[in-house]
Amino acid sequence: MKLHNSITDVPGIRVGHAHDEEALTGCTVILCEKGAFGGVDQRGGAPGTRQTDALYPMHLVQQVHAIVLAGGSAFGLDSASGVVRYLEERGVGFDVRVARVPIVPAAILFDLGLGSANRRPDAAMGYQACLNASRHPPAEGNAGAGMGATVGKILGISQAMKSGIGCASLAIGNSIVVGAIAAVNAFGDIIDPRNGQIVAGARTPQTGGQSAEAGEYFADTLQVMKSILDSQQLNFGRRGNTVIGVVATNARLNKEQANKVAQMAHDGLARAVRPAHTMVDGDTIFALSTGNKKADVNIIGAYAAEAFAQAIVRAVFAAQPIAGLPAASSII
């Protein structure tokens, strides 16, 4: 089985980006027009979501038709309306006899402080992302929902680093694929799980982003947090963060199992982001099942966590410097 380290390696998944390069914001759509059993797990204390309740096991609708990841804070949820229109025009949706209603959950990240706060993802941008959708591996880094993403903001945006959006995929045997896509806008630092080293995050004022000498480049968010006694200072001044994403597989999962996989995928987030799930993050992961391959949910969940961690690391390494912020690619 040949993989391209992308969520589009999962059969039935297409991905499209649309963005505003001047305003530094955008959206990403993960299309599954034939329907996919979906789940969601939301861990951060500052979420921005749409229609996530429909994914819970006790609710009527069994399948979703797209997931939207967007910048623009709560304003960016408008982009999902464009995805709904795109799908309705093509006869895709939950059949209620008088119409087909596309089920399009969404999650957003806060990027209003980097580019233009007055230009956000809207329905037109969501529609364009659908038109751009493809089975080919999508762009990573400064693209789609990752256009305005940053990480390591405990010392303020001036000491943060540019991040973006990233993908990964893993094979289980010869027929099952687990893929992930993550838009990484974390409050904390990004850790490479392979060696435990910070690869992107808050920078020390001394380096100012100009050098990366032996352990002196990164401030280490956890160490900075230990020095902050007034938690209100942290909550007030460093809001506007999150990691949002999707894990998908062609293994057969029902809604209960998809929700479990979304939950387990957060293990990968916690391996790659330090700290994760804070009150100033809105960390949210969706899970999609597009196929009928038999597999143990525990194995799928474990692989989902691994793929999601890899997608996070790829997001920061694919990002390019912008708006005066360095990226991991510029300090290696």
Domain boundaries, the chain: 7-330
How many whole angstroms separate alpha carbon 280 and alpha carbon 27? 21
Give the pLDDT score at 331: 84
Give the pLDDT score at 237: 45
Beta strands in the chain (DSSP E): 14-20, 25-42, 49-50, 63-70, 94-95, 100-101, 106-108, 150-151, 161-162, 165-172, 176-185, 189-192, 197-200, 242-251, 273-274, 284-293
Query: Is there a contact between 160 and 184 (Cβ–Cβ < 8 Å)?
Result: no
How many whole angstroms separate alpha carbon 240 and alpha carbon 319? 19
The residues near 118 (Cβ < 8 Å, ≥ 6 apart) are 23
Task: Please report, in angstroms and rounded to a whole number, the separation of the first and last CA atoms in the chain.
Answer: 32
Q: Kindly give the interhelix angle for 79-89 and 123-131, rounded to the nearest 10 degrees.
A: 50
Residue 180 C-beta-side C-alpha neighbours within 13 Å: 35
Q: What is the DSSP letter of 273?
A: E
* Cβ count within 10 A of residue 213: 9
Give the pLDDT score at 209: 47
Beta bridge partners of 235: none
Give the pLDDT score at 229: 65
Q: Two tokens at 280?
A: 């100033």
Give the pLDDT score at 230: 62
CATH code of domain 7-330: 3.60.70.12
* Cβ count within 10 A of residue 216: 12
Give the pLDDT score at 1: 79
Which stretches of the chain score pLDDT less than 50?
Answer: 209-211, 214, 236-237
Q: Two tokens at 241?
A: 């963060």
The residues near 196 (Cβ < 8 Å, ≥ 6 apart) are none
Beta strands in 193-332 (DSSP E): 197-200, 242-251, 273-274, 284-293
